[in-house]
Amino acid sequence: MEALHEAYPDAHCALTFETPFQLLIATILSAQCTDARVNLATPALFAAYPTAEAMAQAPVAHLEQLVQSTGFFRQKAKNILATAQRVTDVYGGVLPHTIAELTTLPGAARKTANVVISVCFPEHAEGIAVDTHVQRIARRLGMTRSWEPVPIERDLLKLLPRDEWNDVTLAMTDHGRAICRAPKPLCASCPEPVASRCPSRERWLG
């Protein structure tokens, strides 16, 4: 794990946001979409509706227009409107910080909840956000044999100290985007000390 820290010391959440609620919305929009594309859509969205209370009053047609570029925009607009309304009505506009509460919000599955908690409420972290990059890197580095997010998360929790959960997963995501790509990683460009400790390197180089 130290290898990932050394290779990506400045790893951070790639989504643009100013509040926990905005990160939640951005993470919901990132489903089946790149963070870069989400970051192109959210400035106008958050300028128009910066808070849960404001977004809860938004016309769904306007939300659809603002998030259209992120794909599946009708369902996403419906979800973020319903989420804003629930955060406003149930939680008084203050985002909750437990997985149990966050996963009651439309469009927010366990991965989304873990992202929000790890970035905004790290002291309340309950798990690790397993996205497609973490899934791939964990397998290639021999940290898990599973293909499924929940078993992968369970395996990572056994290996990583709690205070490293967020930093390591962010580093894994950066490594997955830059080097260890699907379907074929760029092993010749893999940074040390990750390269020398990767059990999959010879397979891909060969």
Q: Which sequence positions are flagged as catalytic?
A: 111, 131
Nearest C-alpha neighbor of 204 from the set 187, 179, 181, 183 = 187
- The DSSP letter of residue 188 is G
Q: Identify the burial level of 182 via C-beta atoms within 10 angstroms of its C-beta, where 0-12 means exposed, 13-18 middle and 19 or more buried.
A: exposed
Using DSSP, state whether 14 is helix, strand or coil. coil
Nearest C-alpha neighbor of 143 from the set 161, 130, 155 = 155
How far CA 6 is from CA of 78, 134, 188, 198, in Å, comes to 41, 17, 18, 14
CB atoms within 10 A of CB 192: 10
171, 8 Cβ separation under 8 angstroms: yes
Separation CA 167–CA 69 (nearest Å):
29
User: Distance between terminal CA atoms of the chain?
Assistant: 25
